[in-house]
Amino acid sequence: MMQSLVKFIMRALGLLPLRVHYFLSRILAFLAGKVFRYRVKIVEQNLAAAFPDKDTKELKHIRNRFYLHLGDVLAETIWFGASRGPARLRRSHLVEISNVEVLNGLYENAPGVMVLMSHAGNWELIGGIGSYNYSDQPSCFTEQNFCVVYLRQNPMWDDIMRSNRTASLIDSEGFPGYLESREVVRYVFEHRDEKKIYNFITDQHPYFKSRDFLVVNFMHRDCDSMRGAASLAHKFGLAVCYMGMPCESRGHYRIEYTTITEDASSMDADDIMRKFYKLLEADIEAQPWNYLWTHNRWKRFPK
């Protein structure tokens, strides 16, 4: 009952024009940052450590702008969930791929592509990737060859978020590429003879303590990093690229692909992840507010 009610409310709200959502997002930002002070201490601690050369006034400005961005992310996500196919999303120009030729080239010359992305821009819009190419060059993305990896939550929210994240697909119910993180290894192995594009959010803290993580220096602090996506790419000889998502203006993100390696079997998985973090750092330095500072990215496993 609750599950159906939440879905109904989200879809009903999502039908509102995007400009109305941006008006409401300011209210969300005020409530989150000023009233309920959602993870404000974590945000302030993360920003102070990440930007040691910035003074209190600059850090406060980044913090306030981050909460405005977080409000937009929530509003855009709800709007996205009412797309019910690609037409509405394409008309919006909410996201645009700026260099589709980079991904096309990697896809053409490799057994598949591992796309490493982060909690920058609006990661919840990645399910619409097939609609974001406005260039004259066709995109290699299809609903049958791209995959999005997610982390399992409780059954109710898993169902709600799957419905929301796949809303812009032509066949959202039959989409085969929505993969829970624990299923990925088996899926890649079973589909190793098919060209696939795997989209991994790889800036999370490792899900559980295991041998499959490394320590990297990220934004002036050591953190435990997942290497699962890079290890898979290395094992199967996939191409690997970084996906940045800078915000050009409110209501318009730009996806940019940067090649990390054309053949991951020739590159150590740890080096792939270190290069990923260097590219991510550069994007964060350029737009400090355009990153999810509320997650405790730098917590460490006990030694």
**pLDDT at residue 6, as a whole number:** 86
3 state SS of 150 = strand
Amino acid at the residue 273? M
Residue 33 lies inside a defined structural domain of this protein: no
- Tokens (6 digits) for 261: 């390696």
Ramachandran area for residue 100 (φ above 0: left; ψ -120 to 50: alpha; else beta): alpha
- Please give the residue that has the higher pLDDT: either 2 or 79: 79
**pLDDT at residue 57, as a whole number:** 97
Structural domain boundaries enclosing 95: 86-286
199-237 b/e (C-beta count within 10 Å ≥ 16 → b):
bbbbbbbbeeeeeebbebebbeeebbbbbbbbbbbbebe
Has residue 227 got a pLDDT over 70?
Answer: yes
Q: Quote the CA–CA distance of 186 and 193 in Å, as a whole number.
A: 13
Residue 66 lies inside a defined structural domain of this protein: no
Closest CA to 251 of 29, 69, 119, 24: 69
Q: What confidence tier does 180 reach under pLDDT thresholds 50, 70, 90?
A: very high
Residue 165 lies inside a defined structural domain of this protein: yes
Residue 170 lies inside a defined structural domain of this protein: yes
Has residue 44 got a pLDDT over 90?
Answer: yes
Residue 153 lies inside a defined structural domain of this protein: yes
Q: What confidence tier does 211 reach under pLDDT thresholds 50, 70, 90?
A: low
State the total domains in the chain.
1
Instruction: Output the CA torsion 67→283→108→189 (10° steps).
Output: -60
Q: What confidence tier does 18 reach under pLDDT thresholds 50, 70, 90?
A: very high
Instruction: Provide the mean pLDDT of the chain.
Output: 94
Residue 14 lies inside a defined structural domain of this protein: no
Residue 245 lies inside a defined structural domain of this protein: yes
58-117 pLDDT tens trace: 999 999 999 999 999 999 999 999 998 999 999 999 999 999 999 999 999 999 999 999
**pLDDT at residue 212, as a whole number:** 60
Residues constituting the chain:
303
Residue 49 lies inside a defined structural domain of this protein: no
> What is residue 205's DSSP assignment?
P
183-210 pLDDT tens trace: 999 999 999 999 999 999 999 877 665 5
Between 228-236 and 269-286, two packed helices, what is the crossing angle to 10 degrees? 130
